[in-house]
Amino acid sequence: MGEFAIVWEHRGMIMDGFESTLIIVALAAIGSLALGTLLTIPLMSRHRVVAAFATGYVDAMRCVPFLLFVYLIYFGLPTLGVRFDNWSAGVTALILYNAGYMAELLRASWKNLPKETIEAGHAFGFSGWGLFRRIILPPVLFAALPLIGNQLIQIVKDSAFLTIIAVAELTHEATSLQTTYFVPFASFFAAVVLYWVTCIVIESTVGFANRYAEVRR
Amino acid sequence: MTTNDYLSIVHGALATISMSLVSIVLGVPLGLGFALIRWSRLPFFNQLTIAYVSIVRTCPAVTLALMIFFALPQFGISLDPVPAGILTLTLSTAAFNTEIWRSALMNFPRDQYDAALSFGMRRGTRFRRIVLPQIVRSSLPALVNEMTLQVKSTPAVAVIGIVEITRAAIRVGARTYDPLPPFIFALVLYSVIVFAFVKTQRAIERRYDHAGAH
């Protein structure tokens, strides 16, 4: 039990890492949802070429393992002249990668949207961006809510990979705590519990939002 | 990139494929076992399985790998990187497979089970002859989907020093100061592996459809 006492004594380190993880996840969640939403428009486009490019992007993201993608951004882009520090490289990678998944699940939800809704929108004089924002997007987002929740949990799990490019997130801090004081079980156990709590909070928040959406429908 | 560089990444691909396959071969039946514990509501073990699935499902594979590799020796179990990596991947895929098998069991039509009972089939026979063939069929797409996710999460074991595709590509990139070509080659290899899984699933499904027509 002495091990847990050491981790408790240095809880500041773990909490700093946890805070970074939460900030990274929040930025990545907002960024990938926004970018994914925008990406859904070309994905559903009637222009073949536009749709093919968007589909290509989504499929590429779904084929690459996240770690390889992080390396691609962190080490690969500088050879093309784009420079990043590890923090922004990590967040950028999370956003670009998960935007592909977000776009794909929003596309599926959009396809299930009844035609009448869009036709009614047309009849009321909505078109273009206004039609998308006011008529299409709200029901599409509501219907996709549980899947968006799953993807948010995936973002939490992916964020742990950023330890490899030395972003000081939760797993990274747990590793440095365990190497300094040799308390591997207690420090990783603390990290696992914090990841678990984060995901449970996300799940219950999404569940709550889902019930709210059901009531409004 | 020299031929040797390509070969070293292909060598990494063998590690990725074999570790994925071993963890799938272990993880799929293990998931079924856990799902049966949940289904039969075996006291104590049921709660244990619920906790296991809930925690592992939300635990990043990297963190799990580090924990298994560094913390198990404290309890007198010292694992080499490869067994530790296989244990990590098996535990994580089994948690997802448990949920897939469980949902198939929950959706299994009760009347068929009762019919088998009325024919006097024993518990084991009932499961083997009536339940299992049908839940295998209904779970297959979800199981293969999980297998492709599993292939994509294998780079997590690179943190404990296993040289699989991603780590092999990094090494080549670090040596040649030109990381893009090895990364792109690695990407092609991953796509080929994932594609092979999807193809196999389609082939098995076609065989099932064929068998179902008779």
Decide if B64 contacts A191 (C-beta within 8 A). no
In Å, how far is A158's CA from the nearest CA of chain B?
Answer: 7
pLDDT 10s digits, B90-132? 999 999 999 999 999 988 888 888 888 888 888 888 888 889 9
Candidates B54, B66, B151, partner chain A, best to mutate (most A CBs within 10 A):
B66
Contact (CB<8Å) B152/A159: no
Report d(CA A15, CA A21) in Å as an integer. 10
In Å, how far is B107's CA from the nearest CA of chain A?
Answer: 20
Contact (CB<8Å) A76/B54: no
Instruction: Give chain B positions within 8 Å (CB) of A200.
Output: 54, 58
Percent of chain A with pLDDT over 90: 52
Instruction: Return the DSSP state at A164.
Output: G
Residues comprising chain A, all counted: 217
- Grade residue B33 by pLDDT with cuts at 50, 70 and 90: very high
Buried/exposed B194-208: b ≥16 CB within 10 Å, e otherwise: beebeeebeeeeeee
Report d(CA B192, CA B186) in Å as an integer. 10
Residue A42 has pLDDT above 90, yes or no: yes
Residue A30 has pLDDT above 60, yes or no: yes
Candidates A57, A158, A161, partner chain B, best to mutate (most B CBs within 10 A):
A161
DSSP-based three-state secondary structure for A182:
coil
Enter the pTM of the model: 0.87
Residue B164 has pLDDT above 80, yes or no: yes
Say which residue, B85 or A113, is predicted with more confidence.
B85
Report d(CA A42, CA A37) in Å as an integer. 10
Residue A191 has pLDDT above 90, yes or no: yes
- Grade residue B50 by pLDDT with cuts at 50, 70 and 90: very high
pLDDT 10s digits, A142-166? 888 888 999 999 999 999 999 988 8
C-alpha dist (Å) from residue B150 to A64, A192, B44, B97, B147: 12, 20, 29, 11, 5
Instruction: Give chain A positions within 8 Å (CB) of B158.
Output: 67, 164
Residue B69 has pLDDT above 60, yes or no: yes
In this prediction, residues B150-168 reach a mean pLDDT of 91
Contact (CB<8Å) B54/A198: no
In this prediction, residues B8-18 reach a mean pLDDT of 93
Decide if A84 contacts A92 (C-beta within 8 A). yes
pLDDT 10s digits, A109-151? 888 888 888 888 888 888 888 888 888 888 888 888 888 999 9
Report d(CA B23, CA B29) in Å as an integer. 10
pLDDT 10s digits, B188-207? 999 899 888 888 888 888 88
- Grade residue B16 by pLDDT with cuts at 50, 70 and 90: very high
Size of interface A-B (CB pairs under 8 A): 114
Residue A214 has pLDDT above 70, yes or no: yes
Residue B214 has pLDDT above 50, yes or no: no
Of B62, B64, B75, the CB nearest to A161: B62
Report d(CA B151, CA A62) in Å as an integer. 12
- Grade residue A199 by pLDDT with cuts at 50, 70 and 90: very high
Distance between the two ends of chain B, CA-based, in angstroms?
Answer: 54
- Grade residue B212 by pLDDT with cuts at 50, 70 and 90: low
Residue B213 has pLDDT above 70, yes or no: no
In this prediction, residues B137-143 reach a mean pLDDT of 88
Which range (A50-64, B28-42, B47-61) has the least confidence?
A50-64
Six token digits for residue A50: 């536009």
- SS3 letters across chain B: CCHHHHHHHHHHHHHHHHHHHHHHHHHHHHHHHHHHHHHHCCCCHHHHHHHHHHHHHHCCHHHHHHHHHHHHHHHCCCCCHHHHHHHHHHHHHHHHHHHHHHHHHHCCCHHHHHHHHHCCCCHHHHHHHHHHHHHHHHHHHHHHHHHHHHHHHHHHHHHHCCCCHHHHHHHHHHHHCCCHHHHHHHHHHHHHHHHHHHHHHHHHHHHHHHHHHC
Report d(CA A79, CA A58) in Å as an integer. 24
Collect all residues from A whose CB is shorter than 8 A from any CB in B: 63-68, 71-72, 75-76, 79-80, 153, 156-161, 163-164, 170-171, 174-175, 178, 184-185, 188-189, 191-192, 195-196, 198-200
Which range (A77-81, A156-160, A200-204) has the least confidence?
A77-81
Six token digits for residue A120: 């009614």
Among chain B residues, CA nearest to A179: B70
Contact (CB<8Å) B158/A67: yes
CA A213 to chain centre: 21
pLDDT of residue A154: 93
Residues comprising chain B, all counted: 214
Amino acid (one-letter) located at A134? R
Contact (CB<8Å) B71/A171: no
Among chain A residues, CA nearest to B51: A196
In this prediction, residues B86-90 reach a mean pLDDT of 96
- SS3 letters across A74-139: HHHHHHCCCCCCHHHHHHHHHHHHHHHHHHHHHHHHHHCCCHHHHHHHHHCCCCHHHHHHHHHHHH
In this prediction, residues A64-93 reach a mean pLDDT of 89
